[in-house]
Chains A and B, each alone.
Chain A
Amino acid sequence: QQQVRQSPQSLTVWEGGTTVLTCSYEDSTFNYFPWYQQFPGEGPALLISILSVSDKKEDGRFTTFFNKREKKLSLHIIDSQPGDSATYFCAASAGGNYKPTFGKGTSLVVHP
């Protein structure tokens, strides 16, 4: 059973465009949602995260939105750059359960 669904599987955007990645989840006990960025040959790195008590968090060009009622979250990247080309994973975890559940990732390519 896949508890965190991520879409699209892959995405290509032009430099300067806006990238939108989405995730949905099923477990209503999830309360923390990090997004990770992974470059080839490297491990994932935390990009931005949001708690279920918030509906938006912004960090520079990266913004994550959270909709508790619909059990959905999204990652928006404005002014996308070729250096943003990577695989992005959303994850979810519940308090008291230390291990997050990851989505299958979105492979993003930003063309100059």
Chain B
Amino acid sequence: NSKVIQTPRYLVKGQGQKAKMRCIPEKGHPVVFWYQQNKNNEFKFLINFQNQEVLQQIDMTEKRFSAECPSNSPCSLEIQSSEAGDSALYLCASSLSMGNQDTQYFGPGTRLLVL
């Protein structure tokens, strides 16, 4: 069973508000991924880290989304100015290494609703 912890489980924000969610990866996992899963079950990769360094991120992430994985603190994903279209389940996953064949362990997600 995955031991990735995500908080909060539910988040309700108004349009234009900041939304911040946190993730504690499995112990010993240096690689962290953030995904957005929309109501149609589509997964969208947002960003990944190895330790504190960003490996890959998409353009959307570079504009309104910010993320970090500081040493000895939870990773976080923040939406600077929430939009209705950001309503989704935000999933954090961690893995042992960067290899594409390494298992990603997912947390339960933070469900964001932007009113």
Contact = CB atoms under 8 A, between A and B. Distances in A.
Contact of A44 (B31, B91, B99, B100): B91
Contacts of A66: none
Nearest to A9: B41
Interface stretch (A14-22, A56-64, A75-83, A89-97): A89-97
Contacts of B43: 89, 102
Interface residues of B, number: 27
29 contacts: A31-B100, A32-B100, A32-B101, A34-B103, A41-B108, A43-B91, A43-B106, A43-B107, A43-B109, A44-B91, A44-B106, A45-B2, A45-B106, A46-B103, A46-B104, A46-B105, A89-B41, A93-B101, A94-B100, A95-B99, A96-B100, A98-B55, A98-B98, A98-B99, A99-B33, A100-B100, A100-B104, A104-B40, A105-B41
Interface of A: 31-32, 34, 36, 41-46, 49, 51, 87, 89, 93-100, 102, 104-105
